[in-house]
């Protein structure tokens, strides 16, 4: 494989990684009409980081009390085992 081929492949991989990073940080931003609901998430389906992991989708157990997902406001309090949490956006402010 030539140096040019290797460079092009690395540039493409970097662009894909950057896009994924941008998507994950935007998932943390607060959404109007939505609340962060914890305690009901299936393993691997959380929307963002917890104290035990650094990224969305990394919770390893069902109903983890720290793992949350966005739900329409007022829905969380109706679900058994669920509780509303307020997790701040860890990304740097611009």
Sign of the CA dihedral 11, 13, 14, 20?
Answer: positive
In this structure, the answer to whether residues 18 and 40 fall within a common structural domain is no
In this structure, the answer to whether residues 39 and 84 fall within a common structural domain is yes
In tens digits, the chain (94 residues) has pLDDT values of 677 777 766 666 655 654 544 444 344 456 789 999 999 989 888 887 776 666 767 788 898 888 889 999 999 999 999 999 988 755 444 4
| Domain containing residue 1 | 1-30
Report if residue 94 sits inside a domain: no
Integer Cα distance of 71 and 25 in angstroms:
18
Query: Looking at residue 19, what is its pLDDT?
Result: 52
In this structure, the answer to whether residues 56 and 84 fall within a common structural domain is yes
Cβ(80)–Cβ(41) below 8 Å? no
Instruction: Report helix, strand or coil for 4.
Output: helix
E strands in the chain: 34-38, 68-72, 83-85
Query: Looking at residue 51, what is its pLDDT?
Result: 67
In this structure, the answer to whether residues 25 and 64 fall within a common structural domain is no
Query: Looking at residue 92, what is its pLDDT?
Result: 47
Report if residue 14 sits inside a domain: yes
């Amino acid at each position: 494989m030539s140096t040019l081929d290797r460079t092009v492949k690395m540039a493409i991989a970097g662009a894909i990684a950057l896009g994924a990073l941008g998507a994950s940080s935007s998932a943390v931003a607060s959404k109007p009409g939505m609340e962060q609901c914890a305690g009901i998430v299936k393993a691997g389906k959380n929307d963002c980081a917890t104290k035990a992991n650094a990224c969305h989708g990394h919770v390893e157990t069902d109903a983890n009390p720290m793992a949350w997902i966005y739900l329409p406001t007022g829905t969380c309090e109706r679900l058994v085992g669920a509780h509303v949490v307020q997790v701040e956006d860890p990304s740097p402010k611009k």
